[in-house]
Structure 1
Amino acid sequence: MERLRTLASWREFAQSTRDAGRRVALVPTMGALHDGHASLVRRARENGDVVMLTSFVNPRQFNDTGDLSRYPHTPVLDADLARDSGVDALVTPTLEEMWPDYPADTLTTVSVRGLGDVLEGVERPGHFDGVASVVAKLFVLSGPCRAYFGEKDFQQLVVVRRMVRDLSFPVEVVGCPTMREPSGLALSSRNSRLSATGRERATALFRALRVARESTAHVSERRALMTEVLRAANVEVAYADIVDVDTLRPLSDGDLRPARALVAGFVEGVRLIDNAVIDLEPRS
């Protein structure tokens, strides 16, 4: 596994891969790797791609400096997991190269209006501007590639797909299924901050989604059911919604469009998110 620490070496590796007739696979991460990230690498390797995994904690997507300071950093373990998963190049750029003006404002920002300012964007203003800006830079540096993202961060996936569509990036975005613990808890770097009791309470997010998925009630009733399950587990609810998969707009009773249920809440002060496909077609 190659270790790339400069933007120049990153560009050179990607271009030489294409020159050799191979396709580049980009797996963007913020480190603190787990099997969810490894599953993205496995998917890329199954497609025969040369895998570049980036590990960069992007400060521009944190509107809470405390949340940024608490984000887990495990560089040695990350390198081991990347190597064992079959990563071809681990990219760890410096903050100075990625955002030369930081902590002063970077004047250029990519914003996907209407998608980045709802749901997570309501309580985390500017979060998806930071996400879109850093992902755009990753795409510019990597060049034509496939980019692999987990569906656990479904809103992020929608934002990135729209950005690629609108700005004509030569990138194929591949969404990959959420990896879960046996309890149903979605794998997340933030789970490391939970106690054993907290992890048990956090399974309420998955249970809320399961209730909504299995219900045949109207959308409004399914929203209420999700909220009820979360509150019963003492999860501080940020939102529990059912939305259109492309626009992220809340659906109404009677809507039969492709739908996604999304939930977010706080357990032991840690913000957690999850989502699931919801079938709104009447069942016989």
Structure 2
Amino acid sequence: MQLLQTCDELRRWCRSAPGDPAAALHFVPTMGALHQGHRHLIERAAAPLSPSGPLPRVLVSVFVNPLQFGPGEDFERYPRDPLADGALAAAAGAGALFSPSVGEMFPGGEAELTRVLPPPALLQVLCARSRLGHFEGVATVVARLLALVQPDRLLLGEKDWQQLVIVRRIVADLALPLRVQGCATWRESDGLAASSRNRYLSEQQRAQAARLPAALAQGRRAWQSGERDPARLEQLVRAELEQGGLAVEYVEMLEARRLRPLDSSAPPQGPRLLAAAIRCGPSRLIDHLVLMNRPPIVAIDGPAGAGKSTVTRVLARRLGLIYLDTGAMYRAVTWWVLRHGANPAVATEVAPLLAGLELSLDLEASGEQQVSVNGHDVSQAIRHPDVTAQVSQVAAHACVREALTQQQRALGARGRLVAEGRDIGTAVFPDADLKVFLTATAAERARRRAHDLEQRGFAVPPLVELEALIAERDRQDSSREVAPLLQAEDAVELITDGLAIEEVITTLVDLFRERIPEEAWPAPEGGADA
């Protein structure tokens, strides 16, 4: 591992590309006094983004930033241990450690430094109310570091949730070309979130500080028991902390992604943040938990040929969600119709059978999808040629579509889904945690269609003809009365021209993690979603 102390040394290292030239540059900024939480971050940064991808280059910075310390705070006594920091960073997989002086970071002095001011709404909640200027100092130094390093990916811990939200906002507002990845809070054996300031605590104070995660856990249990009133949850946590002899700075419940106050008149949607800050002995400690009404739902829509099915299957496996295969559901209905001897082409024979139909989709230990009809596994039966030959006739009936929409909504009540299909984000799951309109230009989809036909041994029409057919289908899909091709207002449009499947998956995972933190929905073992 190289030790870099000047901006010139940093620039030279970042611009050099030893090993695989395709390797990304991942950056972990810290204030030093590295602990196991930092080690976990660096190890995550050093892991490839896909099983077959190149190992990234990892840079760690250590800079005790004076701009983020207020009057009377612990800047002078903040723990500094450069030798131990270097050893931990190297062992965790860092390729270089940047440890500049204050003069190197602010060559014109603090008074002459251009400042970065986060949006006012993000400075009116949580830690910002009592730590005036803190997040301005964080934003200013992070922006300077990002300009120097120009990384592909920035990794931050989810423990400092407000900081993570603010940095994401800065990166988005300044259109910086990098991804911000949050990583789950690393906790000690007593549940206390890892922090450099834990070093200040005596043994007795350490035991007392452990009441912080315990109090938040009490809030989680109340939530799981049905308590939804923010004021009551806040008071419950505050009372637990005060009973433990801790000085409470705040207990606050907010909308997690944007740190907005909760609207008591609206039904709860999206993850909630229940956060607290306390003082214990010489230390100010923060912690939080994220509360969800149900496991997450991802809704993916878009035109034919954009790669929705392929992407959805992989994304579901990567995030430990169930792939809602709408095609399998129509096959299951067809199997049910054939089993009862009804004519698939006659709606009046199909409709009565829908009243006694209950579909279920689940994820087997192998990762394969299991489809059940009224409790019976039909995963293999629905692939029979007889079902394949009749499914289009069954799917054409309005009564079938209405019944399956109801079934899909029933599955959505339990969450844990990645669903793709027409109007999935507008009509079926309007409250999905992430909505994506996955698309590509007609020219790109024509190229993909030609490649698919060629691979399967079929004749390939001219690309101009294929593109015209695709454009006409888009027009028809967008203008039809039932289930038109429409992008939900709050959906993220993702144009996949020129992107490999793994690049699309990585982008979708990043969008998901902006909304659902790792600590609220961890990635499955073996399916890390970095």
Same-fold status (TM-score > 0.5): yes
Conserved in 2, the CA contact under 8 Å of 1:17 and 1:23? no
Conserved in 1, the CA contact under 8 Å of 2:158 and 2:183? yes
Higher mean C-alpha displacement, 234-243 vs 248-257: 248-257
Number of the residue aligned with 2:137: 130
Percent sequence identity over aligned pairs: 40
- SS of the aligned residue for 2:136 comes to helix
Conserved in 2, the CA contact under 8 Å of 1:116 and 1:129? no
Inter-partner Cα distance in structure 2 for 1:264 and 1:112:
21
Conserved in 2, the CA contact under 8 Å of 1:152 and 1:178? yes
Deviation digits for residues 197-250 of structure 1, max 9, x if unmatched? 111111111012111122121222111111011111111111111111122123
Number of the residue aligned with 1:261: 274
Structure 2: 5+ residue stretches without partners: 49-54, 295-412, 415-530
Number of the residue aligned with 1:11: 11
Inter-partner Cα distance in structure 2 for 1:109 and 1:258:
32
1:212 and 2:219 are equivalent in the alignment: yes
- SS of the aligned residue for 2:164 comes to helix
Number of the residue aligned with 2:117: 111
Number of the residue aligned with 1:64: 71
Deviation digits for residues 163-202 of structure 1, max 9, x if unmatched? 0000011111010000001110000000000011111111
1:235 and 2:246 are equivalent in the alignment: yes
Higher mean C-alpha displacement, 26-35 vs 70-79: 70-79
Larger Rg: 2
Deviation at 1:251, TM superposition (A): 1.9
Inter-partner Cα distance in structure 2 for 1:232 and 1:211:
13
Conserved in 1, the CA contact under 8 Å of 2:216 and 2:237? yes
- SS of the aligned residue for 2:28 comes to strand
- SS of the aligned residue for 1:53 comes to strand
- Cα distance, 1:260–1:8 mapped onto 2, change above 3 Å: same
Deviation digits for residues 72-111 of structure 1, max 9, x if unmatched? 1111111111111111101101111101243x52441101
Number of the residue aligned with 2:32: 31
Structure 2 counterpart of 1:32, which letter? Answer: A
Number of the residue aligned with 2:382: none
Deviation at 1:46, TM superposition (A): 1.4
1:185 and 2:192 are equivalent in the alignment: yes
Inter-partner Cα distance in structure 2 for 1:237 and 1:176:
26
Deviation at 1:278, TM superposition (A): 1.0
Conserved in 1, the CA contact under 8 Å of 2:27 and 2:151? no
Conserved in 2, the CA contact under 8 Å of 1:209 and 1:226? yes
Number of the residue aligned with 1:42: 43
Deviation digits for residues 106-129 of structure 1, max 9, x if unmatched? 441101122134211111100000
Higher RCO by CA contacts (8 Å cutoff, separation 6 or greater): 1
Inter-partner Cα distance in structure 1 for 2:31 and 2:107:
18
Deviation digits for residues 122-148 of structure 1, max 9, x if unmatched? 111000000000000111001142110
